[in-house]
Amino acid sequence: MAGRRLMTLLLLLAAFLAVASGSKPSAKFELIHGGQAPWDEVARKDQERTAFICSHARRRATEAAARGGAKRKAKAAPADEAFAMPLSSGAYTGTGQYFVRFRVGTPARPFLLVADTGSDLTWVKCHRHDHDAPAPGYGAPASNDSSSWLSAAASSSHARVFLPDRSRTWAPIPCSSDTCTASLPFSLAACPTPGGPCAYDYRYKDGSAARGTVGTDSATIALSGRAATAKKQQRQAKLRGVVLGCTTSYTGESFLASDGVLSLGYSNISFASRAAARFGGRFSYCLVDHLAPRNATSYLTFGPNPAVSSPPSKTACGGGSPAAAAPGPGARQTPLLLDHRMRPFYAVTVNGISVDGELLKIPRLVWDVEKGGGAILDSGTSLTVLVSPAYRAVVAALSKKLAGLPRVTMDPFDYCYNWTSPSTGEDLAMAVPELAVHFAGSARLQPPAKSYVIDAAPGVKCIGLQEGDWPGVSVIGNILQQEHLWEFDLKNRRLRFKRSRCTQ
């Protein structure tokens, strides 16, 4: 999905998020990375996703005048409370995604979802009692070709299916309701009976699709913070009214390795926006090395994360409201652009890119949303995609520094090198030029060399960037984000980040 999953989408959702528990904490989700797919396949999916992002931004621009962004009110959780979910690389499944462990329903059932900052609909593979048999994508191939089902069989994801009829907290959204017709922009118009479920047909640029009905249910979270840790056992709570898609049919290979998608995009109906509104207005994640083993785990956290931001300070004499959180030790901070033209994606202002300290000559309009450019962070795209003027400048500078290495050909990359020593047969101990992305506010992203000169095959390294169309949006993918802790402060519109090994 991430990478391949971008939506031409037709879907729906809506509802409210609240903590069932009387106290207000924060939470963590564990991030899990899938297995490494062939690079040409990863690149194709990333390009399809980027094409969607650009067309989406243009469509959003034409709708600018129509919307206002009603502000939601939510009770604030205690300042130190949070919740977290385990997060891992999906390399072991052959995908370029990161997976989060998510529990939903009553009683709660565990699912493995793609953590996607480009999605506004959370959905899980689902089977309802009113279906006589599992839909295509559940239990057996829809055709006689079983080759595409190998990865699903290996991961056993097809065995985890949400059964809404067995969840005491599942509530379908009627197709005649205002929620379906007005609040869910991607719901289908068909409504045979007023009490019938609100349906969606969520389509992606690679031809895959997810179809089903939308409702609300409760997610089970594990709280942290003083109130939670004061007790001997970790306290659990329910987030009620989570908008959830019940996908009863899907096509394409995008969803074989996971049970669905966790929406981390900026939207009134996304899980991230609603959970963050309840827990400090922010969420954070740390992406382990994309080739890390299956047991290498980090977390997706909602609420304060002291590793990347310090607690808000009080105003003088104890009066007034607390000031915004400040970056923690070693963390950088830049404005987070929650631009209506880019939603549900998170945009940032890029001032430039440098190689070995030399700022490259890239037209400023490339980074300007007003001029058809801009840049976003996307956990659902693997390889970073730079629009043509930026891509050509960056690869020219990097390849110049690597000119002494023998070139090899490997799709989908333009610049690949034989990194093997002819005398020892081992990797060359050659310095890689330093790449830095300069954000507004003097914040610099200085990724490890392996994030942009990547291991593409044994003894072969490639400049792991892709060229995107101009005009268009540049996408900072999850490989360039790896081994960094990222905090999305939606309340104060700040993005904070710092280097981290991510594993705990």
d(C-alpha 57, C-alpha 202), whole Å: 18
| Three-state DSSP state, 302 | strand
Residues that are catalytic: 116, 378
| Three-state DSSP state, 499 | strand
Residues lower than pLDDT 70 in the chain: 1-37, 47-80, 129-159, 204-207, 225-234, 252, 254, 311-324, 504
Residue-wise pLDDT for 443-480, tens only, equals 999 999 999 999 999 999 999 999 999 999 999 999 99
Give the pTM. Answer: 0.80
Residue-wise pLDDT for 21-35, tens only, equals 444 445 565 655 555
d(C-alpha 197, C-alpha 218), whole Å: 18
CB 467 within 8 Å of CB 388: yes
d(C-alpha 398, C-alpha 410), whole Å: 17
Q: 358: Cβ–Cβ under 8 A, 6 or more apart, which residues?
A: 397
Other C-beta atoms lying within 10 Å of the C-beta of residue 293: 13
Domain 82-128+158-225+234-306 in CATH 2.40.70.10: yes
Q: What is the location of CATH 2.40.70.10 in the chain?
A: 82-128+158-225+234-306, 331-497
Instruction: Provide the H-helix boundaries in 24-164.
Output: 39-62, 150-155
Q: What pLDDT score was predicted for residue 326?
A: 75
Q: What pLDDT score was predicted for residue 473?
A: 95
Give me the CATH code for the 331-497 domain, please.
Answer: 2.40.70.10
d(C-alpha 82, C-alpha 343), whole Å: 25
